Amino acid sequence: MKYDVIIIGAGTAGLTAAIYVQRAGKQALVLEGATYGGQIVNSPEIANYPGFKNISGFEFVTALYEQASALGMEFKNETVTEVTKSDEGFIVTTTVDKYEGASVIIATGAKRRKLNVPGEDEFAGAGVSYCATCDGMFYRKKKTAICGGGNTALDDAVFLSNYCESVTIVHRRDGFRGEPSTLELLRSKENVHFLTDVTVDSLTGEGKLSALNYTDHKTGEKGSLAVDGCFIAVGQVPDTEFVKDIVELDSAGYVIAFEDCRTNIPGIFTAGDCRTKTVRQLTTAAADGTVAALAAVDYVK
Ligand code: NAP
């Protein structure tokens, strides 16, 4: 079967695109290697999406998924490995099958960046984690560190501070990118500490993580922080490797597109965190999904 629009990725951008494609009377196939929802599925609380005072990430994406499914979206839990051109459109290859689409929307989002320090891989799952909401409970009443200074790190710190004995926010600068109100909340908590202007040198332990070793930028002194768990939230890398041979990416791997969500290849669109943009929020992911879907629908009509 040939689909009108094949959407790669079932996060907020991809599922919003599916809703708009279906509502335009076209058939969308959504391909997703992991579970639906994307990164926001792990957020315990969303408080900045218009219309919702407070909703969990899981509730939000489940509602999106159900809405798109009710409209007739086809969903397959398969990982896409390649997109190529065909005579009439595009062939999207997964680890399971091949699908033909008249157009494609790349909405694969981004995944957590690694810190790239000795010990990070060795202690992954034994003290090192990239998801506080998934693994935080293992560190109930324990000492934890969270590396990073963006919204993810600050939100994760708030979450961990409710369960852990202590949370130390380890950041390479004094200034934080994350929301000032979250920072203020964290500064008011007795079990939250700040270790700023440092570089993490290594993560060490015997069988499991026990220390985060760092260098202080101002003094040049080396220090060590005793921790049971270290959560890494130092940004993201786009999940676009599989399309690097068909669409133009920037040097960081983001699909190059402006607000019209059009790539350099007619018929291939992109939406959400995997495209070049300055503001990566749920609201902008949903906006991209809308724009990309309507552009794709217009392309295939
Ligand atoms: P981010 O905003 O890019 O922040 C990454 C943080 O990691 C920065 O503080 C950065 O330091 C630091 N960092 C980067 N590379 C590093 C390295 N190699 N070593 C040490 N530190 C490093 O990423 P994010 O927090 O994952 O957020 C991604 C996007 O999602 C943002 O737009 C964010 O606003 C959004 N988001 C929003 C919410 C919300 O609205 N509640 C929640 C989560 C995420 P510097 O500051 O020095 O560059």
Q: 89-140: per-residue pLDDT in tens?
A: 999 999 999 999 999 999 999 988 999 999 999 999 899 999 898 889 899 9
Question: Mean pLDDT, the chain, as a whole number?
Answer: 96
274 is catalytic: no
Q: What is the pLDDT of residue 5?
A: 98
Residue 282 Cβ < 6 Å to ligand 1 = no
Q: Determine the distance separating the centroid of ligand 1 and the alpha carbon of 235, expressed in angstroms.
A: 4
Q: Residues 257-285: pLDDT tens digits? A: 999 999 999 999 999 999 999 888 899 99
Residue 133 Cβ < 6 Å to ligand 1 = no
Residue 148 has pLDDT above 80, yes or no: yes
pLDDT exceeding 90 applies to what percent of the chain?
Answer: 89
Q: What is the pLDDT of residue 44?
A: 77
Q: Which of 97, 121, 134, 245 is catalytic?
A: 134
Residue 155 Cβ < 6 Å to ligand 1 = yes
Task: Kindly give the number of the ligand 1 atom that is closest to the alpha carbon of 175.
Answer: 46
Q: Determine the distance separating the centroid of ligand 1 and the alpha carbon of 113, expressed in angstroms.
A: 10
- How far apart CA 61 and CA 48 sit, in angstroms, is 15
Taking alpha carbons only, the member of 197, 201, 184, 191 closest to residue 143 is 191
The whole-number average pLDDT for the span 220-249 is: 97
Q: Residues 67-96: pLDDT tens digits? A: 999 999 999 999 999 999 999 999 999 999
230 is catalytic: no
Q: Which of 4, 87, 121, 135 is catalytic?
A: 135
164 is catalytic: no
Residue 44 Cβ < 6 Å to ligand 1 = no
User: Nearest residue CA, atom 33 of ligand 1?
Assistant: 151
| 47 vs 147 pLDDT, higher one | 147
User: Nearest residue CA, atom 11 of ligand 1?
Assistant: 149
- How far apart CA 75 and CA 52 sit, in angstroms, is 26
Residue 1 has pLDDT above 70, yes or no: no
* Cβ–Cβ under 8 Å, residues 81 and 93: yes
User: Nearest residue CA, atom 41 of ligand 1?
Assistant: 151
| 167 vs 38 pLDDT, higher one | 167
Residue 181 Cβ < 6 Å to ligand 1 = no
Q: Residues 15-49: pLDDT tens digits? A: 999 999 999 999 999 999 999 999 888 777 888 89
> Given ligand 1 and candidates 147, 186, 215, 234, which is best to mutate, with the most ligand atoms within 8 Å of its CB?
234
* Residue 220 pLDDT grade (very low, low, confident, very high; cuts 50, 70, 90): very high
Rg of the chain over all Cα atoms, to the nearest angstrom: 21
pTM of the entire predicted model? 0.80
Instruction: Count how many residues are written for the chain.
Output: 301
> Given ligand 1 and candidates 40, 53, 152, 279, which is best to mutate, with the most ligand atoms within 8 Å of its CB?
152
> Given ligand 1 and candidates 172, 179, 276, which is best to mutate, with the most ligand atoms within 8 Å of its CB?
172
What type of residue is 288? D
Residue 231 has pLDDT above 80, yes or no: yes
> What's CA 20's distance to the chain center, in Å?
22
pLDDT exceeding 70 applies to what percent of the chain?
Answer: 100
Q: Determine the distance separating the centroid of ligand 1 and the alpha carbon of 293, expressed in angstroms.
A: 28
Taking alpha carbons only, the member of 204, 216, 212 closest to residue 231 is 212
- How far apart CA 127 and CA 123 sit, in angstroms, is 6
Residue 48 Cβ < 6 Å to ligand 1 = yes
Q: What is the pLDDT of residue 193?
A: 98
Distant-in-sequence, close-in-space partners of 263: CB < 8 Å, separation ≥ 6: 106, 247, 248, 255, 256, 257, 269, 270
- How far apart CA 135 and CA 132 sit, in angstroms, is 5
